[in-house]
A and B are shown apart, each in its own frame.
Chain A
Amino acid sequence: MKELLEGSQAVAEAVRLCKPGVISAYPITPQTHIVEELAAMVAEGKLRAEFVNVESEHSAASVVLGAVATGVRAFTATSSQGLLLMTEVVFNIAGMRLPVVMTCANRSVSAPLNIWNDHQDAITVRDSGWVQLHAENIQEALDLHIQAYRIGEGPKIMLPVMVNMDGFILTHGLEPVDIPSQEQVDSFLPPYNPLYKLDVENPLTLGPLVDPDYYMEARFAIHDTHKDVLRLIPLIRDEFQKAFGRSSGGLVEEYRVKDAEKVIVAMGSVCGTIKDVVDILRQKGKKVGLLKIITYRPFPSLEIYKALKDVPRVAIVEKAVSLGSYSPLLSEIRSVFCGKKNPPVISGFVIGLGGRDITIDSIKEIFKRLTAKQISEEYIDLKPELLGDEFV
């Protein structure tokens, strides 16, 4: 059924269709509408789940950890400081191999306090073991939530999945979306039935103390499972397309990359703006393209290598930083080409931090700056008048 929905409502619909037994969350802008909507669905009896109100994100994450540990599908959502407060539990959820699904309504991190969009929150927990997916638009956000449970709950996977969607831009924007039927989702997503769960009849321990004799193997196992996730995600995308009739998800999406001389690599909603700019420049005969990263963890190195190996100039356009070093995506993509013959010239651009608007001109400027000379890393749309003389 097609509807014009706010991104948050669309995600709530997706979650409802996935039938979680437990939802727990603490409200934080711009995630709030998602969990408000779900709370209303539970109160109105449209969703048979227990909605657990908690006093903090740390508790919200702990509640869904416990729920999934007992074999119940669960959902939570957060943003920014909320994710940071959860971080301890976020690592535990992955370490205990519990396939929680969480929406991260991406928002900048304090200080200074800022409620608007960038990717710093999700990037900050990139090493936690969670699968991290990024949505470009509201339909993709809806679809990725359905896929997320399939990916995470795979018997050989058993890992949590974070679906990232840009705060305000997608959470508070309205767009036409296709809401699948319950039957469609039921036949795509079987009930959660884990091999191991907390059960008083068959006691077991999750997340115990392990000494140096055991710890490394537990960590290695998660790392190695991420390789399986890389193989699984394209299969889930294909199966989703067969079941729902549209392509959503996957590892990366190539947009007019074949024959391109300049390609931007980016994640999330800015990819839509970049696609429009690519079309504008292509009409003028400029050979440009976009490589959209959908799956950020596990990192699809091989797909990125294949997509970019014949592209002379590449721009990594990123809404996050690693203060004191190169930005995360830039470092990783440069390392993909380390030691390879004739690698592209890879330049780095930081953009849109704290919700600074990313315009058509911002993207055109990046394409323009992609010359044969590598740009180590540059911040786009900085306001020099706000910086002291020592920065100029």
Chain B
Amino acid sequence: MKEIRIHARAGQGAITTASILGYAYFLEGKFAYAFPHFGAARMGAPMNAFVRVDDKPVRLRCQIYEPDYLLVADVTLLRGFNCFKGFKAQGIAIINAREGSASGEHKPEQKIYLVPANDIAMETIGRPLSNTALLGAYVAATKEIKLDSLIEAIKHRFSAKAAQQNILAAQKGYEYIIKCLDQ
């Protein structure tokens, strides 16, 4: 079983991110349970969404306290809010941040990738909706699912133009990590 925790602010699309990721796993024949946890239910308030994935149906209903993977949609959440709480020692985190941003304290074997997902989103979608760029980066960094599955999941979620833009964002997020890995 793999557990993914998404940190975002309400309104940034964390639930969409979780459902697209869950769908990509679903397309590969895995059992996913994607679910949100709302805080105060106000735009901008910190909130979480989760994806739990397994080869058999997921029965566990609690929140995710020891994630294998982290997606952080807003770098400001690293300030005064411990996104790394319970993060597995060999976990992989994808953070929406420009190169050179402080990535927070973490353990030596944890891999932290800073992805300029807002810049990618502005370039591809025209709005700072970082989710699909982060998911592209997630695919490259974790090698958990195929990029094609993510693209299919994006097509399933968005129609026409929005799908095209988000696929491009995912590809650019993916390529950004591949470039990082090559260096």
Give me the interface of A with B, judged by CB distance under 8 Å.
Answer: 4, 6, 115, 137, 166, 168-169, 172-176, 269-270, 272-273, 275-276, 357-360
> Complex formed: what's the CA distance from A359 to B32 in Å?
19
**A164 CA to B113 CA, complexed, in Å:** 42
Q: A174-B23, A175-B57, A272-B60 are in contact. List 5 more A-B contacts (CB 8 A).
A: A4-B19, A4-B26, A169-B35, A269-B61, A275-B59
B34 at the A/B interface (Cβ < 8 Å)?
Answer: yes
- In the assembled complex, which residues on chain B have CB atoms less than 8 Å from the CB atom of A115? 38, 41
Structural contact, B35 and A273, CB atoms closer than 8 A:
no
Q: A4-B23, A4-B26, A176-B26 are in contact. Are A270 and B61 (CB under 8 A)?
A: yes
Instruction: Determine whether B174 belongs to the interface, using a CB cutoff of 8 Å to chain A.
Output: no
B62 within 8 Å of A (CB atoms)? yes
Instruction: List B16-68 residues whose CB lies under 8 Å from chain A.
Output: 18-19, 22-23, 26, 31-38, 41, 57-63, 65
10 contacts between A and B (CB under 8 A): A4-B23, A166-B61, A169-B35, A172-B15, A174-B22, A175-B33, A176-B31, A272-B61, A273-B59, A359-B63
Shortest B127–chain A CB gap in Å is 24
Across the interface, which residues of A come within 8 angstroms of B32, CB to CB?
Answer: 4, 174-176
- Report if A173-B60 is in contact (Cβ < 8 Å); known contacts: A4-B22, A4-B26, A115-B41: no
B53 CB → nearest A CB, Å = 11
Chain A residues near B31: list those with CB within 8 A. 175-176
Interface string of B128-141 (1 = CB under 8 A from A): 00000000000000
A271 nearest in chain B by CB position: B59
- Chain B residue with the shortest CB-CB distance to A268: B61
Min Cβ gap A203→B in Å is 49
B37 proximity list for chain A (CB < 8 A): 168
Question: Known: A4-B23, A115-B41. Is A174-B62 also a contact (CB below 8 A)?
Answer: no
Q: Which residues of A contact B18 (CB under 8 A)?
A: 174
Contact A273 B60 (CB under 8 A): yes
Binding site for A on B (CB under 8 A): 15, 18-19, 22-23, 26, 31-38, 41, 57-63, 65
Q: How far is the CB of A363 from chain B (nearest CB, A)?
A: 9
Closest approach, in angstroms, between the C-beta of B135 and any C-beta of chain A?
15
- Docked pose: A175 CA to B51 CA in angstroms: 10
- Whether A168 contacts B61 in the complex (CB less than 8 A), given A173-B33, A174-B19, A176-B26, comes out as no
In the complex the two chains form, what is the Cα distance from A275 to B56 in whole Å?
13
Q: How far is the CB of B84 from chain A (nearest CB, A)?
A: 19
CB distance from A80 to the nearest CB of B (A): 15
- A175-B58 CB under 8 A given contacts A4-B22, A115-B41, A168-B36: yes
Given the known interface contacts A4-B23, A270-B61, A360-B60, the answer about A174 and B38 at a Cβ–Cβ threshold of 8 Å is no
Q: Quick one: given A269-B61, A270-B61, A358-B62, are A173 and B35 in contact (CB under 8 Å)? A: yes
Which B residues touch A172, using CB under 8 A? 15, 35-36
From A6, A137, A358, give the contact of B59 (CB < 8 A).
Answer: A137
A6: which B residues are within 8 A, CB to CB?
19
Q: Which residues of B contact A358 (CB under 8 A)?
A: 61-62
Task: Please name the residue on chain A nearest to B24 by beta carbon.
Answer: A4
- Chain B residues within 8 Å of A269, by CB: 61
Closest residue of A by beta carbon distance from B49: A172
Complex Cα spacing A192 to B151, Å: 44
How distant is the Cα of A172 from the Cα of B37 in the complex, in angstroms? 9
Query: How many angstroms between the C-alpha atoms of A207 and B183 in the bound complex?
Result: 78
Closest to B63 in A: A357
- In the assembled complex, how far is the CB of residue B13 from the closest CB belonging to chain A, in whole angstroms? 15
A173 partner residues in chain B, CB cutoff 8 A: 33-35
CB neighbours of A166 from chain B (8 A):
61
B60–A174 CB distance below 8 A = no
| Complexed CA–CA distance, A360 and B86 (Å) | 15
**Cβ-defined contact, B22 with A359, below 8 A:** no
With CB as the reference atom, state the residue of chain B lying closest to A175.
B33
Q: Shortest Cβ distance from B8 into chain A, in angstroms? A: 15
Chain A contacts of B60 at CB under 8 A? 272-273, 276, 360
Report the minimal beta-carbon distance from B6 to chain A, rounded to whole angstroms.
13
